[in-house]
Amino acid sequence: MKFLIIDSIYHPEELAKAQENATPGESILFPPSQGTYFLIRSLRKLGHQVDAFVRNAPILFGKRNLRLERFTGVRSLATLMTALSLRLPRAHPDFRLRNRRLLATVAAYEPDIILMFGNNRVVFPETLAAIKSRYGCKVVYLGFDSPLVFSRAIERTAAPLYDLVLVNDYYHGTQWLDLGATRMEVLPISACDPEFHHPYTLSASEQVEFACEVGFVGTLLPPNLYSLRIKALEAIKDCGLGVWSIHDLPSSLQPYYRGQALGEKMLRVLCGSKIQVNPHGDSMRYGGNMRLFEAAACGIFQIADDLPGISKWFTPGETIATYHSTDHLRKQVAYYLKHDDERQGIALQAQAHVYANHTYDQRMATLVSLLE
């Protein structure tokens, strides 16, 4: 089959590094800091053709506007312009041009399947409707977040056009069905690639830079969307906590900030910790974020919040540890810091488990079977 990926590039510097280090003839369309990179690798390994349309690549103003999206919580002219474009996307001249370019791309490439990633701010519903009508493409929407909290109006309006919605979180899937989507499946878009997600041997300087008793890598702002994460980390900040994020941190956790971490550096950061804590965001109450599978693949012991999906994909006490309150989290951290052999045994079992059951190759094979 011919797949056309529609997604944004969020980490252009990581993409530039990956393209610079690519083998001759290797086509890298997205950075390895995004799951899209691994989905494309797996689809190609399965024998499918894959191309991409980068929806956040400007046309009128060139690539100088394609940069890392970093949340600071500070209002500026740029954030106000972004907010305006989200409210009135059709009034944005560059967005209109990008929709025309997408139509031309589909006409030239003639894909069988369009994989539309979530957080779409650009592609209009009428553009998707025209594509389906003219070319008979199936549209699969891949969503990481709750459509009621994070999605844009143009995404929600387009819900009836999605032939299939794939979600990590079951509750998000039911929300998409309520919005009019034809079908949904709980198939975590996050997974691991054993060639990339594996234990890394740290240099002497990295051992110093990344070492911590308890680590966290992820987003913590805005606080109204990540309050549960913030409370969890605040509860263990005296347990040797280290926090890495590409975004700013709430003031209570700024003393524990250790820097940004993307791509391979993020995996090396994971390998520097004894424990990775993985509280999900406030709107993800089923579970299934990217770190859940990546940390396990790196052979790192993980404590996650006790959510339905965690017990579906892992076995608490065997391949992961869970907590049901901040007091319980403190007890879990204290216990496993004192029991090295038990902690390391669970981490090794978790790695074997995700390699056997949660790879991107398996995810994409399942996606293809659902489409067939």
Residue 277 has pLDDT above 60, yes or no: yes
Domain that holds residue 233: 204-357
- Identify the domain boundary among 189, 215, 230: 189
DSSP H helical segments within 188-289, as ranges?
204-210, 227-235, 263-271
Span 328-346, mean pLDDT? 98
Q: Domain for residue 362, yes or no? A: no
List the end-to-end C-alpha distance of the chain, in Å, as a whole number. 10
Query: Directed axis angle between helix 360-371 and helix 35-45, to 10°?
Result: 70
Banded model confidence at residue 230, pLDDT cuts 50, 70, 90? very high
Q: Is residue 122 one of the residues assigned to a domain?
A: yes
Asked whether residue 326 falls in the same domain as residue 181, the answer is no
The 10s digit of each residue's pLDDT in 58-100 is 998 665 556 666 666 666 655 565 666 777 899 999 999 999 9
3-state helix, strand, coil in the chain (%, to 5): 45, 15, 40
Contact criterion met (CB below 8 Å) for 118 and 162: no
Q: Which of 33-37, 74-78, 225-229, 237-241 has the lowest mean pLDDT?
A: 74-78
Residues 221-232 have a mean pLDDT of 97
Burial 31-40, CB ≥16 within 10 A → b, else e: bbbbbbbbbb
CB 51 within 8 A of CB 4: yes
pLDDT at residue 256 is higher than 80: yes
Clarify whether residues 338 and 276 are in a common domain. Answer: yes
Domain limit, last residue, from 189, 214, 232: 189
Segment 220-249 shows an average pLDDT of 97
Average pLDDT over residues 26-52: 97
| Model confidence at 293: pLDDT above 70 | yes
Q: Please tell me the predicted confidence (pLDDT) of residue 87.
A: 77
Pairing of strands 212-217, 273-278: parallel
- 275 within some domain: yes
Rounded CA separation 230/220 (Å): 7
Per-residue pLDDT tens over the stretch 142-201: 999 999 999 999 999 999 999 999 999 999 999 999 999 999 999 999 999 999 999 999
Phi/psi for 162 (5° steps) reads -80, 120
Beta-bridged to residue 273, according to DSSP, are 212
Query: Which CATH number covers residue 33?
Result: 3.40.50
3-state class (DSSP) for residue 4: strand
Residues 171 and 220 in one domain: no
Note whether 47 and 142 are same-domain residues: yes
Under 8 Å between Cβ of 19 and 127: no
Q: How many CB atoms lie within 10 A of CB 340?
A: 11
Whether 147 maps to a domain, the answer reads yes
Domain contains 345:
yes
Q: Is the pLDDT confidence value at 138 over 90?
A: yes
Number of domains in the chain: 2
Q: How far apart are CA 54 and CA 360, in angstroms?
A: 21
Which residues face 185 on adjacent strands? 166
Average model confidence (pLDDT) for the chain?
94
* Lowest-confidence pick of 22-26, 252-256, 309-313: 22-26
Task: Look at residue 87 and tell me if it is in a domain.
Answer: yes
Residues 40 and 157 in one domain: yes
Residue 271 has pLDDT above 70, yes or no: yes
> Is it the case that residue 106 has pLDDT exceeding 70?
yes
HSE, side-chain direction, 13 A CA sphere, residue 32: 21
CATH number at residue 251: 3.40.50.2000
Q: Which of 31-35, 39-43, 58-62, 243-247 has the lowest mean pLDDT?
A: 58-62
